[in-house]
Amino acid sequence: MITLYHVPQSRSMRVLWLLKEMDIPFRLIEMPFDKTLRGPEFLTLSPAGRVPALEIEGERMFESGAMVEYLCERFPERGLGRAPGDMDRMAWLVWVHFAETLTQHVAALTQQHVMLYEDAMRSPLIMKLEAARVGKCLDAVEARLSPPLEGRDYILTSGFSAADICVGQAVYMAWHFHTLDAYPEVMAWMARLEARAGFQAALPGASRLYERAFYPVWEAK
């Protein structure tokens, strides 16, 4: 049995989406985004007190990139990984893990906008820097989807994969802090991803991390 510990609109969404796309049985435990994640019981699953955490037949995992690689290797018939020797293997690895580069900057913005409740605790400088870094990451995705001759439908030449899931979930988080207006290829790609049943099934219900659709850079008064 596979058990996923998940907080809506967090990194764990990428693993939830992957499992939905794979259409394999699993149990979902939705966690609150609070001190429960620092409790001794959850820390036995994830020593840094972060989601996702994954249990598979008694074994435990606590890094989402590792989970994606492992699940794709365990269920190769689902076609979401790229095996060693595949023409897209190198690009698959790069983009699966590039998602975390983007997510780190989004996490810093989430801390500033969502987790800090007093305006005096926020830093306009950090917000501007991290928003700019998100933009640089979006530049890279736009370039990947915009080859010289014609655009790709997905991150890899060989089609939809876990790389789209990982980067797509990171962009889904990022657009709470950075508009996509300057990224037409990214917007078109995200529209394709949003139309997938797996993406729709991974979206949050009533419990949400982000209460607003967009958070502009906060300016000190």
Domain encompassing residue 40? 2-78
Q: Are residues 94 and 68 in the same domain?
A: no
Q: Are residues 63 and 27 in the same domain?
A: yes
Q: Are residues 11 and 72 in the same domain?
A: yes
- Domain presence at residue 215: no
- List the CATH number of the domain containing 176: 1.20.1050.10
Q: Are residues 191 and 168 in the same domain?
A: yes
Q: Are residues 105 and 152 in the same domain?
A: yes
220 pLDDT higher than 60: no
Q: What are the residues whose beta carbons fall under 8 Å from the beta carbon of 57, sequence distance 6 or more?
A: 1
Determine the pLDDT at residue 74: 98
The model's pTM is 0.95
Q: What is the pLDDT of residues 17-58, one digit of tens each?
A: 999 999 999 999 999 988 999 999 999 999 999 999 999 999
Q: Are residues 132 and 193 in the same domain?
A: yes
